[in-house]
Amino acid sequence: MPELPEVETIRSRLAPRLEGRTLERVEIVDPRLTRPEPPEAIAQALEGERISEVGRRGKYLVFEFESGRHLLVHLRMTGNVEHPAQGGLAADPYRRAVVRLDDGSDVAYRDVRRFGTWALLEPGELEDYFAARRLGAEPLERGFTTRALTESLAGRRTPIKAALLDQRAAAGIGNIYADEALWRARIHSLRPAGSLDGDEIARLRKAIRAALELGIVRQGATLRDYRDPEGRRGRMQDELKVYGRAGEPCPRCGAPIEKTRVAGRGTWYCPQCQELDPG
């Protein structure tokens, strides 16, 4: 699933190309993409809109229009946004929507498993939309402090990894970067979130930022479907310390990496560096 680094990579590639461009023609071929709204209505509403900014909130791509509307694109598990630097779009059975811009280029949305969503919001609806989904702080912004993270985890009995995945503690963290951050912080994924002390939370905040920043530098992790808008693979998969590496030696202590499940998700950790009961 594309997480913050993958979505931020897509955003940064699209922004200089799309900002200031007008949507001349919009074709949405998958009715699941915009449900419960009919795709024809969303396509018609989008035509003629001029993009003022391409932003991101958590795992959402946020297209802001000069009209004050916003198009929110959530890639879910296998979504991708394509905008080739040269040439047109090749035939693709997994393409769900195509947008023709006023410069003659096409932006396509591709999604193998069809879990991604598009939501068109009217002016003034953006903050309420995100508030209803209880998105936490942006972990790469100044507001993501040790104090803020402490307050968001206080009293929570859920495993710390589950707390990171639910987006309330920090927006944009998914399975890959949760495992990597917890390994960096030497915290077991099953530790109750509310049991972390001040030093552990400070380490975790720093580790989250480090894992996400490296993911952005490496242009995201391509484990299967993810590509940037030009079709290039990310390189973060070559930097992963524990995720997907069961049986391999921990880069820090040499103990074999183990796999378990937390909140229904495959979870990788070092049993020696990340003790469940550090006391």
CA pair distance 136, 171, nearest whole angstrom: 5
Identify the CA nearest to 8 among candidates 225, 167, 214.
Answer: 214
Determine whether 59 is an active site residue: yes
Q: Are 23 and 49 in contact (CB under 8 A)?
A: yes
Determine whether 147 is an active site residue: no
Out of 2, 39, 139, 229, the active site residue is 2
Determine whether 3 is an active site residue: yes
Identify the CA nearest to 190 among candidates 163, 170, 151, 155.
Answer: 163
Out of 11, 13, 57, 59, the active site residue is 59
Q: Name the token pair of 16.
A: 């200089």
Distance of CA 16 to the CA centre of its chain: 20
Count CB-CB contacts under 10 A for residue 41.
12
Out of 27, 84, 265, 271, the active site residue is 265
Determine whether 251 is an active site residue: no
Out of 3, 64, 180, 200, the active site residue is 3
CA pair distance 10, 12, nearest whole angstrom: 6
Could you list the active site residues? 2-3, 59, 265
